[in-house]
């Protein structure tokens, strides 16, 4: 018997106009589209061509005009400043219209770019929505990014204005942004006309006369601006993702398709409705923050939580439970690494017992592979569905998910369930041909991609083709490897460059990580393929132990090696592993496996600007040296 998911999926693939057209009717349009899907310029497919809308109107004014003005739109919860502040939809409208006036007073108009370089504070959201209000294109750069990385983004986006703050706060450490911004502008060939700086009490920024303007002073005299109609195909934002050439790629998101897809996902995928409290524990500098801190929840009329803190350390591993209980969160979306950190600090979830979590219905995880051990721990502790789903900066929303608003499937550990409606997925071999169910290959999506995904890269159509469409013509290359089983469940095992070849056998490092993570003393781990003169590559494991483990580390290593041999077999050639205090990660929680692999193989590497802590790499070099790898061997 078919269910709502099956019906939606079939129609989305076979009749995309009939599927997405009625969904788009739920949004506000100044002018209706001529075509739902425009395929007149392949491979540059566009959605809702001819339509005119405004993203800010749909996220803010639409709700005020329809009676939700007094409902909370944003709850700002900042344990690092001991602040909780709420903004209703009416208050949000006032702040956003005011800041739109500030931007307009500095010459920003439809199509101009604005870079936003701010911490997790409400003003960052006001700035994003204000850009959308007047048709400007925003590009949010993660607050605290290194000056040279910010400079490359300034050069590419060519912003008329940069909006920033005097500082950000990482747990107890104050990071001054203004010196980084000044250095970035000095390094860049393109210079902004103005910078608008929010002065925070934790650090005051030194202002440059004629260029820098105080946020509060400008808001005090701002003339509010109304929403400006823009084309559905006009860009809403640029979000930069790292590129293999060292030059970041500017992922473009349009106004129409983005709005339609994200509003639909809130109920279809995440199971939330107007008035529910939704929390994406991420950062606005990442795609999750764009899609599910700001736009998705506000399109739906939800209350969204803006959290300036960490899963542990602000003040401890109970931070998430306190927020869920205090603000009546229905659905939480975060990264598996956050739950691994909580699990490491509080393995038996003792801190959870102090909070009433009866309001909480779903936990969604994405960003890193969800290992079955973390899945099991979260399920046992929370007693709610724990749902893995998979997506990318480029896609803007889930490629594969357990769409609980349509039909809740049984969870299969290690799988983000089935392709979401709109995603026509396949697994291809090296020859570009589909392979059998259960076989590992390159996971791809047949074109056209659904609405809300990237239509191209910022002012670089050719790089868009080269980066995503050239290896498998007619398909979008996800650069992830895995398989689809006989039930249609997708398994994302590793990035394609993390499928290693051990003496002719193609093996998934992700599969080995699943086994290692199942050891009761292991908090998290990473496996990468390192060069070997005999077998070509062999796997090398790096492990972090749970807090309080008393066992001899060498004994844990022996047990883990035996586990992999037992579960995967001798063919894996897994014989080397080491214990480390922590794994190097980006600020969004992704483990830097490629960087560790380069260290082990004595190769030059570029440290990503997004790294959470540079000192961690010295520890990794020392640990690898003790087992015979890297320059310190």
Per-residue pLDDT of 364-390, as tens digits, reads 999 877 888 889 999 999 999 999 999
114 to each of 103, 227, 237, 243, 365, how far by Cα in Å?
9, 17, 9, 22, 31
> Is the pLDDT confidence value at 245 over 70?
no
Classify residue 220 as exposed, middle or buried by CB count within 10 Å of its CB (0-12, 13-18, 19+): exposed
- Where are the domains positioned within the chain? 4-309+389-482, 503-626
Per CATH, the architecture of 503-626 is what?
Answer: 2-Layer Sandwich (3.30)
Residue 622 corresponds to which tokens in the numbers above?
A: 């020392």
Of the candidates 524, 531, 506, the residue with the CA atom closest to the CA atom of residue 600: 531
Beta-bridge partners for 597: none
Contact between 134 and 226 (Cβ < 8 Å): no
> Is the pLDDT confidence value at 466 over 70?
yes
3-state secondary structure of 313: coil
Query: Given this model, what pLDDT does residue 430 score?
Result: 85
Q: What is the pLDDT of residues 437-460, one digit of tens each?
A: 999 899 999 999 999 999 999 999
Note if the pTM is more than 0.75.
Answer: yes
Residue 489 corresponds to which tokens in the numbers above?
A: 């469940």
> Is the pLDDT confidence value at 244 over 80?
no
Query: Given this model, what pLDDT does residue 242 score?
Result: 67
Give dist(CA 508, CA 547) in Å, integer.
Answer: 28
Alpha-helical segments (H) within 448-492: 461-464
CB 329: neighbour CB atoms within 10 A? 23
> Is the pLDDT confidence value at 198 over 60?
yes
The model's confidence at residue 477, banded by pLDDT at 50, 70 and 90, is: very high
Contact between 240 and 226 (Cβ < 8 Å): no
Give dist(CA 312, CA 581) in Å, integer.
Answer: 16
The model's confidence at residue 246, banded by pLDDT at 50, 70 and 90, is: low
Query: Measured on CA atoms in the order 358, 364, 367, 371, is the torsion positive or negative?
Result: positive
Any idea which of 261-270, 408-417, 609-618 has the lowest mean pLDDT?
Answer: 609-618
> Is the pLDDT confidence value at 41 over 90?
yes
Classify residue 18 as exposed, middle or buried by CB count within 10 Å of its CB (0-12, 13-18, 19+): exposed
Query: Measured on CA atoms in the order 122, 123, 124, 130, is the torsion positive or negative?
Result: positive
Query: Given this model, what pLDDT does residue 248 score?
Result: 79
The model's confidence at residue 172, banded by pLDDT at 50, 70 and 90, is: confident
Query: Given this model, what pLDDT does residue 284 score?
Result: 94
Residue 562 corresponds to which tokens in the numbers above?
A: 């035996």
- Residue whose entry in the numeric block shows the structure tokens 């007619």: 474
> Is the pLDDT confidence value at 497 over 70?
no
The model's confidence at residue 504, banded by pLDDT at 50, 70 and 90, is: low
Give dist(CA 246, CA 240) in Å, integer.
Answer: 12
Query: Given this model, what pLDDT does residue 503 score?
Result: 61
> Is the pLDDT confidence value at 330 over 60?
yes
Query: Given this model, what pLDDT does residue 37 score?
Result: 98
Residue 3 corresponds to which tokens in the numbers above?
A: 């269910």
**What residues have CB less than 8 Å from 349, skipping those under 6 apart?**
343, 377, 380, 381
The mean pLDDT value for 46-63 works out to: 98
The model's confidence at residue 506, banded by pLDDT at 50, 70 and 90, is: low
Give dist(CA 281, CA 173) in Å, integer.
Answer: 20
Tell me the average pLDDT of the chain: 93
Query: Given this model, what pLDDT does residue 301 score?
Result: 98
Is the backbone peptide bond immediately before 500 cis, with ω within 30 degrees of 0? no
Q: Do the bridges between strand 522-532 and strand 72-78 make them parallel or antiparallel, or are there none, so unpaired?
A: unpaired
Of the candidates 140, 120, 143, 122, the residue with the CA atom closest to the CA atom of residue 131: 140
Query: Given this model, what pLDDT does residue 142 score?
Result: 86
Query: Given this model, what pLDDT does residue 533 score?
Result: 73
Q: Residue 625: what are its φ and ψ, rounded to 5°? A: -60, -35
Query: Given this model, what pLDDT does residue 532 score?
Result: 81
Query: Given this model, what pLDDT does residue 210 score?
Result: 96
The percentage of the chain sitting over the pLDDT mark of 90, rounded to a whole number, equals 77
Instruction: Name, of 88-92, 523-527, 560-564, the range with top average pLDDT.
Output: 88-92
Any idea which of 7-16, 47-56, 236-245, 376-385 has the lowest mean pLDDT?
Answer: 236-245
Q: Which CATH superfamily is domain 4-309+389-482 in?
A: ANL, N-terminal domain (3.40.50.12780)
Any idea which of 238-247, 295-304, 532-541 has the lowest mean pLDDT?
Answer: 238-247
Query: Given this model, what pLDDT does residue 419 score?
Result: 98
> Is the pLDDT confidence value at 616 over 70?
yes
């Amino acid at each position: 018997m078919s269910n709502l998911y099956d019906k939606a999926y079939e129609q989305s693939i076979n009749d995309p106009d009939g599927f997405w057209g009625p969904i788009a009717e739920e949004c506000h349009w100044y002018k209706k589209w001529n075509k739902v899907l425009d395929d007149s310029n392949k491979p540059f497919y566009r959605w809702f061509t001819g339509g005119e809308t405004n993203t800010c109107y749909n996220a803010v004014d639409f709700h005020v005009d329809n009676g939700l003005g007094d409902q909370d739109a944003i709850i700002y919860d900042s344990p690092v400043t001991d602040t909780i502040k709420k903004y209703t939809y009416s208050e949000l409208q006032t702040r956003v219209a005011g800041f739109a006036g500030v931007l307009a007073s500095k010459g920003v108009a439809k199509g101009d770019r604005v870079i936003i370089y701010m911490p997790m504070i409400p003003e960052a959201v006001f700035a994003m929505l204000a850009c959308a209000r007047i048709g400007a294109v925003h590009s949010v750069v993660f607050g605290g990014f290194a000056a040279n990385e910010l400079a490359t983004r300034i050069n590419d986006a060519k912003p008329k204005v940069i909006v920033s703050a005097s500082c950000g706060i990482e747990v107890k450490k104050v990071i001054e942004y203004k010196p980084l911004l000044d250095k970035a502008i000095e390094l860049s060939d393109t210079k902004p006309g103005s910078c608008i700086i929010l002065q925070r009490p934790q650090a005051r920024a030194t202002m440059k006369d004629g260029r820098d303007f105080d946020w509060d002073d400008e808001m005090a005299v701002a003339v509010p601006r109304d929403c400006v109609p823009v084309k559905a195909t006009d860009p809403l934002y640029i979000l930069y993702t790292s590129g293999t050439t060292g030059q970041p790629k500017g992922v473009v998101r349009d106004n129409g398709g983005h709005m339609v897809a994200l509003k639909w996902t809130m109920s279809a995928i995440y199971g939330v409705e107007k008035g529910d409290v939704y929390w994406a524990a991420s950062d606005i500098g990442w795609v999750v923050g764009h899609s599910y801190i700001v736009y998705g929840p506000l399109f739906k009329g939800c209350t969204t939580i803006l959290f300036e803190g960490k899963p542990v350390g602000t003040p401890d591993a109970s931070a998430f439970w306190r927020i869920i209980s205090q603000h009546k969160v229905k659905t939480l979306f975060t990264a598996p690494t956050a739950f691994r950190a909580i699990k490491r600090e509080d393995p038996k979830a003792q801190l959870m017992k102090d909070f009433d979590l009866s309001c909480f219905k779903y936990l969604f995880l994405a960003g890193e592979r969800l290992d079955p051990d973390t899945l099991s721990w979260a399920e046992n502790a929370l007693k709610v569905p724990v749902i893995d789903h998979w997506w990318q900066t480029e896609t803007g929303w889930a490629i594969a998910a357990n769409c609980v608003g349509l039909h809740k499937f049984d969870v299969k550990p290690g799988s983000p369930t089935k392709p979401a409606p709109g995603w026509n997925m396949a697994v291809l071999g090296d020859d570009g041909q589909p392979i059998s169910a259960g076989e590992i290959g390159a996971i791809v999506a047949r074109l056209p991609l659904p609405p809300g995904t990237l239509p191209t890269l910022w002012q670089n159509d050719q790089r868009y083709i080269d980066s995503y469409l050239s290896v498998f013509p007619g398909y979008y290359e996800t650069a992830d490897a895995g398989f689809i089983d006989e039930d249609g469940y997708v398994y994302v095992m590793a990035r394609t460059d993390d499928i290693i070849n051990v003496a002719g056998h193609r093996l998934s490092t992700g599969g080995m990580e699943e086994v290692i993570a199942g050891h009761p003393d292991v908090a998290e781990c990473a496996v990468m393929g390192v060069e070997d003169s005999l077998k070509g590559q062999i796997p090398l494991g790096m492990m972090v132990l749970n807090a309080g483990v008393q066992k001899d580390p060498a004994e844990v290593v022996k047990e883990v090696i035996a586990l992999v041999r037992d579960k995967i077999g001798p063919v894996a050639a897994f014989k080397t592993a080491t214990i480390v205090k922590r794994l190097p990660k980006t600020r969004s929680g992704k483990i830097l496996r490629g960087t560790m692999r380069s260290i082990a193989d004595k190769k030059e590497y570029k440290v990503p600007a997004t790294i959470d802590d540079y000192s961690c790499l010295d520890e990794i070099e020392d640990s690898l040296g003790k087992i015979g790898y890297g320059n310190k061997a």
